[in-house]
Amino acid sequence: MRRGRKPSKELSYRDRKIVNRLNSTFDTMPQLAKKYGISKQRIYQILIRAQKLGYAIHRPRLLARYHRTHQCEVCSEILQVAEKDDLITKRQLSQMLNIDYEACNWHLNQLKVSGVVSKKFATVRSDRLVKALQCYKYNSLPPSVVGRKFGYKNFYSLLNYQKKKGIDVERTLNPSVVAKFKQDDQMTTIPSINQTQP
């Protein structure tokens, strides 16, 4: 006789949550495995079992062939941001658009594959480096001063590296952009002692 539990005819609460997340979000199997503290192989087994029990698995990643970038709201918002400036991280972009990071990354990749957005857009990974590059681009400060301000000893070499990658870090003299950047910069800086005294 075989021993052990009989296989249940229904998925457990946790397994149903995993299937729902796979269907409704852009989470990958390794991300879900890390979140629920199980292995990637176990996630795969849950998917196979769910399909045998009649659950439909519709991964959003697999819908790329039906995705129309010119009709998608997220893609059009990404295009509007890309027209203004390419100095932005993917995390900043997802926060600006108020969408999930993985969903933002997926839509951005679709735009890059179709050639609508430059491959260099949102490739900088560090928020601090983006702020330093923006400070250099929209101000007349030398690289050494910008480097000291943001804590980069080798800012000049970072600047050259970004130029070699094809990212536009040439100085811009657009007054409206400079004024907006200075306003944002003043909001983030702490007032000095001289400014606080009457």
| Per-residue pLDDT tens digits for 87-140 | 888 899 988 888 878 778 888 888 888 888 888 888 888 889 888 888 888 888
Chain segment 171-196, per-residue pLDDT in tens:
776 555 555 555 555 544 433 334 44
pLDDT given for residue 66 in this prediction: 61
Checking if the pLDDT of 79 tops 70, the result is yes
pLDDT classification of 3: cutoffs 50, 70, 90: low
pLDDT given for residue 191 in this prediction: 39
Checking if the pLDDT of 41 tops 90, the result is yes
Chain segment 153-173, per-residue pLDDT in tens:
888 888 888 888 888 778 776
pLDDT given for residue 182 in this prediction: 54
CA separation for the pair 164, 85 (Å, rounded): 18
CA separation for the pair 7, 121 (Å, rounded): 50
Conformation bin of residue 37: beta by default, left when phi > 0, alpha when psi is -120 to 50: left
Checking if the pLDDT of 5 tops 80, the result is no
CA separation for the pair 71, 108 (Å, rounded): 14
Domain extents for the chain?
13-62, 67-114, 127-187
pLDDT given for residue 20 in this prediction: 83
pLDDT given for residue 37 in this prediction: 92
Q: CA nearest 166: which of 124, 109, 130, 116?
A: 124
pLDDT given for residue 38 in this prediction: 92
Quote the pTM value. Answer: 0.55
